[in-house]
Chains A and B, each alone.
Chain A
Amino acid sequence: MKKWSQLLRALPFLAPNLAGFLVFTLGAVVVSFYLSLTEWDLLTPPRFVGLANYASLLGWHRAETGWEPLDPEFWQACYNTLFMMLGIPPTMLGSFLLACALNQKLAGERIFRLVFFLPSIVAGVAVMLLWKWMFNADYGLINRALWTIFGVQGPTWLTSVAWAKPALMLMGFWTAVGGFNMMLYLAALQNVPKELYEAAEIDGAGRWSVLWHITWPMVTPTTFFILTMSIIGGFQSGFDAAYVMTGGGPARSTTTISYFIYNHAYELLNMGYAAAAAWVLFAVVFVFTLLNWRNARGRMQ
């Protein structure tokens, strides 16, 4: 009875947020699932097509030259997304090492922290346009530096199928390495009990041993959190940078799943198909997160 009265009293306070969640989040999610079962071009009423969108996205058929996906662009977008996610481990490692460095008692440590954090608070489009010029094949800063310092003719970065993805990953590394991941690691490092380090010092452990046997295990929960969030973000990312810097090209080599969804929804007005792709993306993220969770739970214990 008391619980009910508490709930009744809490309800008016919760209602605005709850209403917003039901209408703008849960409602949109449910509607998007329904739309994924339809063919809808915005202008005419949706037509129910069952699982046809999913079949087209995920289906394969036998062609003269062998088995081929029904929609090769979707699979290419999946490949591009996974490829770009290869940037997650180096970024995490970079953030961890940077946090270790900034955790030392240095003169001006606050300034260093600010400087490394700056890229993640600068407006994204501004950063992307800056990098776009830096990547310019003929006049960009990077190729000029490669030529002047090493005598190497740099690649055509953003207009090369082979280099466009690494270029975006490089920019992503620069933006993310000193960002929130570094701050999380920094917070985690400051929570590692000093006694452990003192004990290690008495035992004669070297720096590498301390790092590997004390620091790294003690920040595992943070690593797990960052990894989970990075994987979720990685699957959903890639749109803004590709939109501004490459338009998803060259030859769709930077079209990620989120860009694919955007193209179908707003360029081709293929809403049902875009919704189906979004649900496939959700399923993939869900499975990965679940696996990651199970794997990490054991390790953390």
Chain B
Amino acid sequence: MPKAPLPLVLVSLLLGLSSLLAPGCLRQEGGRQVVLRFASAEPNLEQIRVTRALVAEFERQNPDIRVEAEFGIAPRKILVQTAARVGPDIFLWWFDLQPLVNKGVAGDLAPLAAEAGFDWSVFHPYLVDYYRRGDAIHAFPVQLKTYALVYNRDLFDAAGEPYPDGTWTWDRYREVARRLTIKPARGPALQFGNGPFAQFRDYVVRAHGGDWFHRENGRYAPDTPENRRAVSLILALLRESSPRPEDIESFGGGSFSQAFLTGKVAMQIAPAWMMSIFTQSRGNWDVAPAPRPVEGPARVVFDDAGLVLNARTAHPEAAFKFLRFYAEASAMRDFAAGRNGLAARRDANEPFLSPTVPGLARYLDAAEAADTPIKPVLLDGDYNHLSTIVNNEFERLFPLGEIDEDEFFRRLERRLNTPASPIQRR
């Protein structure tokens, strides 16, 4: 084997060593600057643009802090990175917060806010309460998702139906949805009265005052009158007037919002974030208040997204500075202009309403009246695990049709109280 010349070996060694040392040198060079990592699962391009602009403005105002923002990050990646101690300092979170609280990932913002004299009352109070556990507050409200009824005016006009208004009950909704559905004897359906969305089932249950995870005497007891009414309605809507998954795939490319925009769906309960998509379209649509339950009190449902301060961050003060910047009215107005939900700050939502689609104000009305989170807070249960059980059992009911409603509630109660794995039982 020919011998390598000594200078070549030395140069290779030197290059190898310098490649190992270089990252350290660079870090030292930028040592005066705090680098914050911000992660978000947000895939919406407009919202990414808005957030990037906010980050740039924050960096301009705080030259000692640099924010490395990543978007479209899967939530499990954030958790895995955090477990490996390379997690982001701040992240946007619209999933169940409680596991992050239980596992010590979601830092307590209350002491930092108190030190900075931060006024929490700029937000809708129920959003702050949703993140409050005792004296601690575990997330910073950013995005508020309320729900309203979006309808296609052309399809209503063609059928001679009056537009929905604030007097509608779910029974009326079901009737009209049925009338606006056109299914030929064979081949794909031509038109659907009701367009579902990903959380449609949970929304209807919560809007009826129901809760899959209702507890009595320390046990899950989902068989309540509210849940029964909601399940019957959901089944009726899914069977009578909703597109099948293959229909959504065919004409909406798998997207519920796109399915509505094709003009084949007459009505859809739509979360506020869908307005970022709808307002870009030219469809002849408008917004009405969501229907009310026939019996029992009407609940106004909301969903959230908050910024979580990673409890393992090395820069809590700098991170809080960023959160505080996010809460300023100007930043929140920029957020509202993207219409990816309402801004959590009450006084920042005028840009959400323009350009004017008259009914958009229904989302703000719902924000004022909201009282029921779509994801209930489960202090001693894991929402994701338990929701999986609900999903699996509901599938037996629809579309499989293996069980009836009575059996669904019996099975659900049994499985919620005897989940399979140790981690689910905890």
| Inter-chain contacts of A240 with B (CB < 8 A) | none
Interface residues of B in 164-187 (CB under 8 A from A): 186-187
Q: How far apart sit A56 and B245, CA to CA, in the bound complex (Å)?
A: 32
Q: B247 on the interface (CB 8 Å rule)?
A: yes
| Inter-chain contacts of B400 with A (CB < 8 A) | 161, 251
Interface residues of B in 371-396 (CB under 8 A from A): 384-385, 388, 392, 395-396
- A267 in contact with B424 given A138-B246, A159-B245, A159-B249 (CB within 8 Å): no
B423 touches A159 (CB 8 A): no
B422 touches A49 (CB 8 A): yes
Q: B82 on the interface (CB 8 Å rule)?
A: yes
Q: A273 on the interface (CB 8 Å rule)?
A: yes
Q: B125 on the interface (CB 8 Å rule)?
A: no
A56 touches B246 (CB 8 A): no
B103 touches A44 (CB 8 A): yes
How many chain B residues touch the partner (CB < 8 A)?
35
A272 touches B399 (CB 8 A): no
Q: Which of A57, A61, A159 has the most CB of B within 10 A?
A: A159
Q: A287 on the interface (CB 8 Å rule)?
A: no
| Inter-chain contacts of B21 with A (CB < 8 A) | none
Chain A positions 265 through 285: 1 when the CB is less than 8 Å from some CB of chain B, otherwise 0: 011111011000000000000
Q: A136 on the interface (CB 8 Å rule)?
A: yes
- A136 in contact with B246 given A42-B83, A43-B105, A73-B392 (CB within 8 Å): yes
Task: Kindly identify which residue among A39, A43, A63 contacts B83, using a CB–CB cutoff of 8 Å.
Answer: A43
A269 touches B79 (CB 8 A): yes
| Inter-chain contacts of B395 with A (CB < 8 A) | 249-252
Q: B80 on the interface (CB 8 Å rule)?
A: yes
A156 touches B420 (CB 8 A): no
| Inter-chain contacts of B79 with A (CB < 8 A) | 42-43, 269
| Inter-chain contacts of A161 with B (CB < 8 A) | 399-400
B246 touches A156 (CB 8 A): yes
Nearest-Cβ distance from residue A294 to partner chain B, whole angstroms: 34
A-B CB pair tally, cutoff 8 Å: 95
B385 touches A268 (CB 8 A): yes
Q: How far apart sit A250 and B187, CA to CA, in the bound complex (Å)?
A: 21
The main secondary structure of chain B at its interface with chain A is: helix
Q: How far apart sit A124 and B186, CA to CA, in the bound complex (Å)?
A: 34
Chain A positions 140 through 165: 1 when the CB is less than 8 Å from some CB of chain B, otherwise 0: 00000000000001001011010000
Nearest-Cβ distance from residue B416 to partner chain A, whole angstroms: 14
Q: A71 on the interface (CB 8 Å rule)?
A: yes
Chain A positions 251 through 271: 1 when the CB is less than 8 Å from some CB of chain B, otherwise 0: 110000000000010111110
Q: How far apart sit A143 and B424, CA to CA, in the bound complex (Å)?
A: 42
Task: Kindly identify which residue among A42, A53, A136, A249 contacts B421, using a CB–CB cutoff of 8 Å.
Answer: A53
Interface residues of B in 49-93 (CB under 8 A from A): 76, 79-80, 82-83
Q: A139 on the interface (CB 8 Å rule)?
A: yes
| Inter-chain contacts of B188 with A (CB < 8 A) | 137-138
- A250 in contact with B399 given A42-B83, A52-B422 (CB within 8 Å): yes
Nearest-Cβ distance from residue A35 to partner chain B, whole angstroms: 12
| Inter-chain contacts of A249 with B (CB < 8 A) | 395
| Inter-chain contacts of B410 with A (CB < 8 A) | 64
Q: B244 on the interface (CB 8 Å rule)?
A: yes
Nearest-Cβ distance from residue B265 to partner chain A, whole angstroms: 15
Nearest-Cβ distance from residue A133 to partner chain B, whole angstroms: 9
B420 touches A70 (CB 8 A): yes
- A252 in contact with B392 given A136-B249, A158-B246, A159-B245 (CB within 8 Å): yes
B83 touches A251 (CB 8 A): no
Q: Which residue in chain B gives the minimum CB-CB distance to A265? A: B76
Interface residues of A in 34-81 (CB under 8 A from B): 39-44, 49, 52-53, 56-57, 61, 63-64, 70-71, 73-74
B421 touches A56 (CB 8 A): yes
| Inter-chain contacts of B187 with A (CB < 8 A) | 138, 153
| Inter-chain contacts of A53 with B (CB < 8 A) | 421-422
- A139 in contact with B250 given A73-B392, A252-B392 (CB within 8 Å): yes
Complex A-B: 22 CB contacts under 8 Å? A40-B423, A42-B79, A42-B80, A43-B99, A43-B105, A44-B103, A53-B422, A61-B418, A73-B420, A136-B249, A136-B250, A138-B247, A153-B186, A153-B187, A156-B246, A158-B246, A251-B396, A251-B399, A252-B395, A268-B388, A268-B423, A272-B421
Known contacts A43-B82, A63-B414, A250-B395; 11 additional CB pairs below 8 A are A39-B423, A41-B99, A43-B83, A56-B422, A61-B418, A137-B188, A138-B187, A269-B76, A269-B99, A270-B421, A273-B420
